[in-house]
Structure 1
Amino acid sequence: MNRRIEYKWRLREIMAARGLNNISDLLPLLTDRGITLSDSQIYRLVGQKPERMSLALLGAITDALECSVEDLCHFEAVSSNSRLRRTVGSTVEPISLNETIQPRRARVRPTDR
């Protein structure tokens, strides 16, 4: 029986729960921890599932967002012979975004002419 591991990358959800709405909010947190990435690298990291990642970057993200690896990645073991899925580490509770996210009021400033 062949099995493969699938995962959900939840960085965007965790950032939103912590009040970080842009990639520019994440950049200084990673820089303080010795990780320097370009804007495009951070954009891909937040928006897409990473296939490879250094442990230093993973450690910096978990430290900056005060979460664990299990919070960032939700793993599932999938059998290719059947359509059954078994969750690996099923003790992870999803973050309720309705309770944790508060919208920020926009400020409109007059332009200087």
Structure 2
Amino acid sequence: MASATGHGHPRDVPDQRVEPLLAERGVHLSREQVYRLVTQAPQRLNMDVFAALCDVLGCGPQDLVEVVAAPQQVRKTVAGGETAKSGVGDLRPVRAKIRRPDNS
């Protein structure tokens, strides 16, 4: 993908150049965050960061995101042909245990 600014994909732009360009647009990330953003596919991304990346790279969202259809899950049936009723509603929270460090 080429862009009007000549930057291309985030992986094509050195991370030391991305950080100040994002900062100009009000997005402040640590060097580690920028490095991960440039070298890895993010699992989730803030919309402000995404918009700033599109602006920096001179491209649109469709140039940075590839939509892939996920396989549809088929509901399992129990004996007798009824649909199994398990889901999020069956889950119950577990109480967290907070332990303070020993001050010895």
TM bracket (short chain): 0.5 to 0.7
| Residue 14 in structure 1 maps to residue 6 in structure 2 | no
Tell me which residue corresponds to 2:57. 65
- Percent identity between matched residues is 34
1:41 matched to 2:41? The reply is: no
The root-mean-square deviation of aligned C-alpha atoms, in Å, is 2.0
Cα distance in 2 for residues equivalent to 1:40 and 1:71: 24
TM-score (norm. length: structure 1): 0.52
**Structure 2 residues without counterparts, runs of 5 or longer:** 1-7, 74-104
Please give the alpha-carbon distance, in whole angstroms, between the structure 1 residues aligned to 2:27 and 2:71. 37
Structure with bigger RCO (C-alpha 8 Å, 6+ apart): 1
CA distance in 2, matches of 1:49, 1:14: 12
Question: Residues 36-68 of structure 1: CA distance to partner in whole angstroms, max 9, x if unpaired?
Answer: 101100011111121121111110000111111
Aligned residue number for residue 3 of structure 2: none
The reply to whether residue 24 of structure 1 matches residue 13 of structure 2 is no
If each structure's strand is expressed as a fraction of its own residues, which one has the higher value?
A: 1
Q: Tell me how many residue pairs correspond in the alignment.
A: 66
Query: Partner letter of residue 9 of structure 2?
Result: I
